[in-house]
Structures are given as C-alpha cells and as structure tokens.
Structure 1
Amino acid sequence: MAPRMADPGSTLTALIERRHSVREYSDAAIDRVALERIVHCAQGGSALGKRNAPSAHALYPLRLFAVIQRLNEPEYAPGLYALDTPEGRLGEWVKTVPPEALRATALADDVWLELAAVVLVVAADYAAARAHFADHQPDGRRGERYVHIETGAVLQNMHLATLAQDLGGVIVAGFDDARLSSLLNLHAPLQPVALFCIGAPAEPSAGL
C-alpha cells in the first residue's frame, strides 16, 4: 500500500492521486473560463509577480498556444490561438488547423489529437535558453535541460488544473517537429516541445 501523505483530504493531494491520462473524449465543447483557468495554472502570473510554474533565472522561454476544436462560445472560431500567458487568457486567432492535420503530425496514430476539444501547444525558445546559460555549459545543453524541466512543471500544472475542471487530458510528445511547426506557423527561434489534449471524458465516470 502506498504511504499516505500528511493531509490526504486536501484538494491538491486528491488531485495528484486522481491524475491519469484520458484519451477518449465526448463531442462536448468545453467552457472558455475552464480553459483559461487551466492556462493560468500552467503559466499565468502569480501573486509574487512571477509565473505559476518555475523557470530557471525567471527566463520563461516557453510560449503557449491553443488549437481550439470545440469551445462553448461561438465567437471563438476553431483554429490556432496565441495565449496571453501572464494573464492566462486566449489571445488572437492565428489560423485554421484541421483536426486531421494535427493528428497527422503524430509519430503514432494519436487519434485523441483529433478528438480533443482543445490541444494546448508548448513551444520553447531554445536559443535564448542556450545563450543565457552558456556559462553553465558551453555547448548550451544545460539551457536545454532547464527548458525540459520547466516544460514538465507546466504540463503537470495543466494536468492537475484540467482534472480540477472535471475534464480529462493527456500529454503528447511524439510528433514530427518540422511538420508540426509548419502546421502551426511556428518559426525560429520557437520549437514545439509538447502537446496537451483536453476534453470532456467519453465516460464521465472514468476516474474523475
């Protein structure tokens, strides 16, 4: 039996113990406010004047985007949106992204990329991280490591916040970088690092 934490009834503990990947979604649209809460938890501004996920030297080399497929407010047309991460809000519409085209960027047949109501995109400015931390390791690999650590923190925040909204989510990291960048109009120095699918679970009782 797993050891119990000091406060097993706390909200955070309960969310952590319930966290799991959800890959099957209903066709329900999700609420914009719920989505913005998830974005805020992922990398929104904190009460301390920083962000809600840690970043080495407060560099914040990550950028978030959202591929909206089903949102409950008709003024938000399907497609790619920039995210105002400090405010935790949806930004401007960028372009149309066909769900089947997003699915086609995966290295496996990740159908959940097509079925999710929203797919959040985590991109990184690796060049900025390599340059900033060049004194730590001349080849820049230390800066890349910090990017990956920060991405992990952001994804965990996303996942727990998604669960708190009674939604399901799953991380996707296996994709063709060049193909995804082309689809999403991501240009240097930004590179895609991870995707996070969000949707209402096909089976509401699926562990939520």
Structure 2
Amino acid sequence: MTEKYKALVLGASGLVGKALVNQLCQDDRYSQVTCLVRSPLSKAQYHDPLNKIQAIVIDFEELQDYQGYFSVEHVFCCLGTTIKQAGSQSNFRRVDFQFVHVAAQLTRAQRAKSFVWISSVGANAKSGNFYLKVKGELENAILSMPQLDNAAAVRPSLLLGQRTQKRTAESWGIAIMKVLSPIMFGPLAKYRPVSANQVAYQMIQLQVF
C-alpha cells in the first residue's frame, strides 16, 4: 500500500497557494491538506472531490499557538505580500520574513519531513533593493537553521495567473517580460514570467517523500 502524506499550506488563498492546494487535492500521495488562513476559503476556487481540505482560520500574529498543525510530513509556505499592500517596509518584513521564519521554526519543532517556501529570483541579503534584501535574509536564516535539514526555496520571477487584487505595476512588468521572454536565454531565462501552476508543481517536487 502506498504511503499517504499530510500537507500543511500557509497562504492557500494566494495565487500560488490556490494552485498548490488544487494540485495537492489531485495528488494521490496526499490524504489531507490543512490550510492555515486569515479568512474562510471560498470552496468554489478549489476542486476537492475527496474532501482533503481542512481550512483553519488563525491569527498569524500568534502563529506559534498553532504549532500542533505542523505535525505533518510536508509544510508549504506561500505567504507573501507587497510593500504597497503591507503599507510599510516594517509590515512587509513582518509578513515576508517573520511569519515565514516562524513557520520554519514550527516545522522543525514538529519534525516534519520538509519545508518549502516561496522566495524570489534575485533574492540577496546584500541587495540594495529592500524586497530582494528581505527575501535573501530569509533564505539565509532558514537554510542555516540547525535541525531543519530538508528546507528548500522556489525563486520565481513575475507570476502569471488570475489575481483577485489588481497590481498595476506588476501587470505592466508581466506584459513587458512576455514580449522579451523569447530572447531570454541562458542566465536570463530565470527572469521569464512563470505560471502559478508551475511554481506550485515545483514546490511539490522539492518535498522529501
């Protein structure tokens, strides 16, 4: 009999999170998909014929209080915001660094098999760009964390997909990058826009089975 896995997803209502949860629901290796969310999920956006999804509304400011939910095999973290949505650099850092870092710590504490999260192409702790600097600092913090052996980050460029919230600057960036994509080879290939489904698929492939 094939071993069944339980997954925990943080950020299930986001662009990649939705794609990921839907893929996990179709993946025979998973028997349960627990989603920690800020507000109830819209069932219409998820295809879950086997009722694998268990959605838990939590306060991410008190994430450590939900440590028991990290007692699964695989933890996926799709949390993330923009500085515009967050309202300030400090609020952005709280979501994109603090929440994800705490999730990694809880994954270690509960001895899950592996932890995969979304970073960004160009992430670098020494970057002059605040967004990329925070992403790079987070990578350094998680990948150097003792007793968290199976941690991995996906580093997408601009994400393609249908968002619930409009991001004008990002939309322009995607349009420009789509035009340039055919000539982006070699080292430039990693900057091509990528679909949320592709990122979700990669996250699953990075988990340890």
The bucket for the TM-score relative to the shorter chain is 0.3 to 0.5
More helix by percentage? 2
Q: Which has the higher contact order (CA 8 A, sep 6+)?
A: 1
Which TM-score applies when normalising by structure 2? 0.34
Which TM-score applies when normalising by structure 1? 0.35
